[in-house]
C-alpha cells in the first residue's frame, strides 16, 4: 500500500484493489515473516481476511459520494459515527472530540474467490482552509488508522491464546483492544513486526462473543509495553509548552508559508535565530503536527497557523502566557499542593491580577490571551436565550461582566444586530475594547462601564459571566453572584460560561484547568451541583446547562421564582 497519494480517491482505490486481491493464505506470510507451515495452516484454518481500513478527509461530507463512486464502491451505505477513531484522533492531536465529526462506513468488496469483504472507511470532513488541515496532513502521512482485519471463526479461549502467541512469537506486539457489547464481539489489536511486508502497521483480530478473559492478558501486555514510553512523554510535556512558546515568541509562523516549504536557514535569518537550533525546533514541532517537512524546507500546517499574529482569534497570546508567567509559577506547584496556597502569589509576591496590572505588557498579553480563548465559546451566540432576545419586538441588552476587551460580546452583537451591549471592565481594559468594537462597527451599540463586580449595571436582559467564577473561591463567587442578582430584573437571564468538572472523575479538560487555577490564580473548577448551590445562595436558580467546544459549558440561571422559558 503506497503511503502517499495526491488525493484520497487514489488512496481509497488502492485499498479497494488490495482487499479484492488478497486472502489470508497469501497475506499472513507477508504480515508475519518467518511463519512455518504448521503455524500458517493453524492461522488460515481459523481466520479469514475480512477488511482493510483507512481514514480519508473529503472537503465536505457531501463529497464522499463522489469518492466512493470513483472507486467503484456502493454509495448506499450510510455513514455512522465512529466514537473510537474520534477519541483516538482527539488524543493524538489534542483536540476536543466534539470538534471531530468522524464517520465510518463499510461498503462491500468481493474477494478473489467471491467471498464477502469490506473496506472500512473512516471519514472526517476537512473544508479548504479549515483548522483541521493539519490533522489531515499528519494522518495521511502516518496512516495511523490504516489496518488489516481478520475474523476468527469458531473462537474459544485456547484458540485465541494460541493465535495471540503466534503473533507475539513473530514480532507482533499487543496494541490495545476491547469488547463491544452491542455487537457481542471482542477485538484484539496488534502492531505488525518491523520486518512486515504487508504494507500495514496495525492488525485487528475480531472474535465473535465475549472473550474478555483472554483480552485482559492481551491488554496487560499492551500496558507493560507502553507504560514506560507513556510516562516519559508525560515527563517531557514541559518541552512542548516551551517549544510552542518560542515558536510563537520568535514569530516563526509569520515567516512561514502554508502552501510551500521554507528552508530552516532562511527562517532562522528572518527571525534572528541559530540555524541548527531552528532545524531541531522545527523537527520537534513536526512531530506534533504544527509544521510539515518538505523537500524544500518546512511548511506551516493549519494547526501551526493558529499561532500567526494575523490569524483570526490568534492563539499566539495563549502560547506566550502558558509558556511565560504561568509556566514559571507552575514550577512552584509543589508549594500549592503542600500548603493550599497559590504558587503564583508565592513566587511573585502578589496575585496575578495585581501583578499584571503593574506590568502593562503582561496585562495586555493576558487580555489578548483571554480574547483568543473566546473562540471556544462562539456557539454562545446561538444559545436559545440569546436567540429569543434577538427575536423580541423591542431591543434587548446584553451585559458582559468583566468581559475583557469585548471579544465575546462583540461576537454576540455581530451575530444579532437587534441586540445592544454593555461591557463592564477595568478602565485600562476598556480603552482596548472601545478600539476593537469601533473597528468591528459596533461602537454605537455598546456602552462601556468602568468598574468592578459591585458595579454590575441594572436593567439588562441577559447577563454574561464568561470564565469569571473559576477565578475565585466560593465566598467571592457568592458575592459576585449576589451583585448580579441585585442588578437583574425578574425577567433577566444569567449565562455562565465555565468548564465543569465531571461527576465520575473521568478524563476532562476541566480537571487539568482545576490544577492550573489552584496553582496560578487561586480559583478552581466546579461540578454542576456545586454551581447550583452557589447560585441558590445568591438568590438565583440554575435552570439549564448546554455544551460548548473544548468541554466548555453554558450554565443558565434565573432569579429565584422566575419562569424558566428562554423569552420574557
pLDDT above 50 (res 3): no
Strand intervals (E) in 199-337: 202-208, 291-294, 297-300
Catalytic residue among 470, 493, 516, 556: 470
Among residues 292, 311, 330, which one ends one of the domains? Answer: 311
- Check residue 6 and give its pLDDT: 47
Q: 45-69 as b/e, with b when 16 or more CB fall inside 10 Å? A: ebbbbbbbbbbbbbeeeebbeebbe
Would you say residue 40 lies in a domain? yes
Among residues 233, 262, 295, which one ends one of the domains? Answer: 233
Residues 204 and 265 in one domain: no
Query: How far is the C-alpha of 246 from the C-alpha of 252, rounded, in Å?
Result: 9
- Give the confidence band of 564 by pLDDT, cuts at 50, 70, 90: low
Residues 388 and 257 in one domain: no
Residue 29: CB atoms within 10 A of its CB come to: 18
Would you say residue 188 lies in a domain? yes
| Rounded average pLDDT over 178-183 | 84
- Check residue 373 and give its pLDDT: 63
Residues 22 and 129 in one domain: yes
Structural domain containing residue 259 = 237-311
Question: Beta strands 116-124 and 108-110: pairing type?
Answer: antiparallel
| Rounded average pLDDT over 147-151 | 95
Query: How far is the C-alpha of 377 from the C-alpha of 399, rounded, in Å?
Result: 16
- Check residue 376 and give its pLDDT: 65
Contacts 24+ apart (CB under 8 A), 240-244: 240/288, 241/322, 241/323, 241/327, 242/323, 242/327, 243/281, 243/284, 243/285, 244/285, 244/290, 244/307, 244/319, 244/322, 244/323
Q: Which residue has the higher pLDDT, 400 or 153?
A: 400
Contacts of residue 196, defined as CB under 8 A and 6 or more positions apart, other chains included, come to 30, 31, 32, 33
Residues 35 and 171 in one domain: yes
pLDDT above 90 (res 266): yes
Residues 120 and 172 in one domain: yes
Residues 455 and 534 in one domain: yes
Residues 555 and 478 in one domain: yes
| Rounded average pLDDT over 444-453 | 94
Which domain CATH number covers 295? 1.10.10.10
Q: Which residue has the higher pLDDT, 292 or 498?
A: 498
Residues 254 and 208 in one domain: no
pLDDT above 60 (res 567): no
Contacts 24+ apart (CB under 8 A), 93-97: 93/134, 93/135, 93/138, 93/289, 93/303, 95/135, 96/509, 96/549, 96/550, 96/551
Query: How far is the C-alpha of 39 from the C-alpha of 95, rounded, in Å?
Result: 43
Would you say residue 352 lies in a domain? no
Residues 246 and 393 in one domain: no
pLDDT above 60 (res 282): yes
Closest CA to 460 of 436, 481, 438, 491: 491
Q: Rounded to whole angstroms, what are the CA distances from 565 to 122, 201, 275, 347? A: 40, 54, 61, 48
Q: Which of 5-14, 181-190, 461-470 has the lowest mean pLDDT?
A: 5-14
Give one word for 94, left, alpha or beta, with left for phi > 0 and alpha for psi -120 to 50: left
Q: Which of 168-177, 224-233, 405-414, 534-543 has the lowest mean pLDDT?
A: 224-233
Would you say residue 378 lies in a domain? yes
Which domain CATH number covers 535? 3.40.50.150
pLDDT tens-place string over residues 106-147: 999 998 878 889 999 999 999 887 878 888 988 988 888 999
pTM of the model: 0.65
- Strand-pairing partners, residue 149, are 51, 204
Q: What SS3 state is found at 276?
A: helix
Q: What percent of the chain has pLDDT over 90?
A: 59
DSSP 563: -
Q: Rounded to whole angstroms, what are the CA distances from 100 to 17, 90, 126, 342, 377? A: 29, 7, 10, 36, 16
pLDDT above 70 (res 565): no
The domain tally of the chain equals 3
Strand intervals (E) in 4-128: 47-56, 80-81, 102-105, 108-110, 116-124
Q: Which residue has the higher pLDDT, 530 or 175?
A: 530
- Check residue 117 and give its pLDDT: 93
Mean pLDDT, all residues of the chain: 89
| 470 is known as an active-site residue | yes
Which domain CATH number covers 129? 3.10.180.10
- Give the confidence band of 1 by pLDDT, cuts at 50, 70, 90: very low
- Check residue 566 and give its pLDDT: 47
Contacts of residue 169, defined as CB under 8 A and 6 or more positions apart, other chains included, come to none
Closest CA to 175 of 148, 154, 137, 199: 148
Would you say residue 346 lies in a domain? no
Would you say residue 405 lies in a domain? yes
pLDDT above 80 (res 53): yes
Query: How far is the C-alpha of 469 from the C-alpha of 496, rounded, in Å?
Result: 8
pLDDT tens-place string over residues 533-561: 999 999 999 999 998 887 889 999 999 87
456 φ/ψ angles, rounded to the nearest 5 degrees? -55, 120
Residues 458 and 508 in one domain: yes
- Check residue 537 and give its pLDDT: 97
Residues 419 and 499 in one domain: yes
Among residues 233, 254, 277, which one ends one of the domains? Answer: 233
- Check residue 374 and give its pLDDT: 60
Would you say residue 342 lies in a domain? no
CB 307 within 8 A of CB 317: no
Residues 129 and 218 in one domain: yes
pLDDT tens-place string over residues 369-405: 776 666 666 778 889 999 999 999 999 999 999 988 8
Would you say residue 389 lies in a domain? yes
Residue 485: CB atoms within 10 A of its CB come to: 20
| Rounded average pLDDT over 74-93 | 86
Amino acid at each position: 500500500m503506497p503511503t502517499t497519494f495526491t488525493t484520497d480517491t487514489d488512496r481509497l482505490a488502492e485499498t479497494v484493489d488490495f482487499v479484492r486481491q488478497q486472502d489470508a493464505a497469501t497475506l499472513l506470510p507477508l504480515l508475519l515473516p518467518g511463519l512455518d507451515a504448521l503455524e500458517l495452516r493453524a492461522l488460515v484454518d481459523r481466520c479469514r481476511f475480512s477488511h482493510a481500513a483507512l481514514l480519508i478527509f473529503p472537503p465536505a461530507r457531501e463529497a464522499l459520494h463522489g469518492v466512493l463512486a470513483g472507486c467503484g464502491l456502493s454509495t448506499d451505505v450510510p455513514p455512522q459515527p465512529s466514537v473510537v477513531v474520534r477519541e483516538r484522533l482527539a488524543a493524538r492531536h489534542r483536540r476536543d472530540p466534539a470538534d471531530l465529526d468522524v464517520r465510518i462506513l463499510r461498503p462491500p468488496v468481493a474477494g478473489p474467490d467471491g467471498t464477502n469483504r469490506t473496506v472500512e472507511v473512516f471519514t472526517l470532513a476537512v473544508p479548504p482552509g479549515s483548522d483541521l488541515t493539519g490533522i489531515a496532513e499528519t494522518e495521511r502521512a502516518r496512516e495511523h488508522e490504516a489496518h488489516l482485519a481478520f475474523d476468527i471463526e469458531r473462537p474459544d479461549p485456547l484458540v485465541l491464546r494460541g493465535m495471540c502467541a503466534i503473533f507475539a512469537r513473530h514480532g507482533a506486539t499487543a496494541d490495545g483492544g476491547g469488547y463491544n457489547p452491542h455487537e457481542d464481539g471482542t477485538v484484539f489489536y496488534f502492531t505488525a513486526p518491523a520486518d512486515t511486508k504487508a504494507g500495514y502497521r496495525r492488525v485487528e483480530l475480531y472474535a465473535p462473543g465475549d472473550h474478555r478473559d483472554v483480552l485482559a492478558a492481551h491488554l496487560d501486555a499492551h500496558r507493560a509495553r507502553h507504560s514506560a514510553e507513556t510516562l516519559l512523554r508525560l515527563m517531557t510535556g514541559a518541552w512542548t509548552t516551551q517549544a510552542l512558546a518560542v515558536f510563537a515568541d520568535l514569530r516563526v509562523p509569520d515567516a512561514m508559508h502554508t502552501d510551500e516549504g521554507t528552508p530552516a536557514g532562511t527562517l532562522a535569518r528572518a527571525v534572528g535565530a541559530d540555524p541548527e537550533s531552528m532545524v531541531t525546533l522545527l523537527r520537534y514541532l513536526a512531530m506534533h503536527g504544527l509544521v510539515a517537512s518538505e523537500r524544500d524546507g518546512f511548511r506551516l500546517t493549519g494547526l501551526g497557523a493558529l499561532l500567526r499574529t494575523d490569524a483570526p482569534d490568534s492563539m499566539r497570546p495563549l502560547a506566550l502566557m502558558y509558556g511565560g508567567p504561568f509556566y514559571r509559577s507552575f514550577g512552584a506547584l509543589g508549594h500549592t499542593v503542600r500548603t493550599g496556597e497559590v504558587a503564583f502569589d508565592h513566587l511573585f509576591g502578589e496575585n496575578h491580577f495585581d501583578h499584571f496590572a503593574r506590568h502593562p505588557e503582561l496585562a495586555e498579553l493576558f487580555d489578548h490571551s483571554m480574547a483568543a480563548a473566546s473562540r471556544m465559546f462562539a456557539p454562545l451566540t446561538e444559545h436559545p436565550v440569546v436567540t429569543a432576545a434577538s427575536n423580541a419586538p423591542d431591543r434587548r441588552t446584553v451585559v458582559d461582566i468583566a468581559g475583557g476587551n469585548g471579544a465575546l460580546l462583540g461576537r454576540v452583537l455581530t451575530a444579532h444586530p437587534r441586540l445592544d451591549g454593555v461591557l463592564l471592565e477595568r478602565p485600562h481594559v476598556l480603552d482596548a475594547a472601545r478600539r476593537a468594537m469601533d473597528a468591528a462597527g459596533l461602537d454605537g451599540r455598546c456602552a462601556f462601564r468602568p468598574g468592578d463586580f459591585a458595579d454590575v449595571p441594572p436593567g439588562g436582559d441577559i447577563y454574561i459571566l464568561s470564565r469569571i467564577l473559576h477565578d475565585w473561591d466560593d465566598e467571592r463567587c457568592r458575592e459576585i453572584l449576589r451583585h448580579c442578582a441585585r442588578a437583574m430584573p425578574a425577567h433577566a437571564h444569567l449565562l455562565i460560561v465555565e468548564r465543569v468538572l465531571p461527576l465520575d472523575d473521568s478524563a476532562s479538560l476541566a480537571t487539568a484547568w482545576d490544577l492550573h487555577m489552584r496553582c496560578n490564580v487561586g480559583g478552581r473548577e466546579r461540578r454542576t451541583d456545586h454551581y447550583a448551590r452557589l447560585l441558590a445562595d445568591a438568590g438565583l436558580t440554575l435552570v439549564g446547562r448546554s455544551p460548548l467546544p473544548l468541554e466548555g459549558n453554558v450554565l443558565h440561571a434565573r432569579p429565584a421564582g422566575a419562569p424558566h422559558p428562554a423569552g420574557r
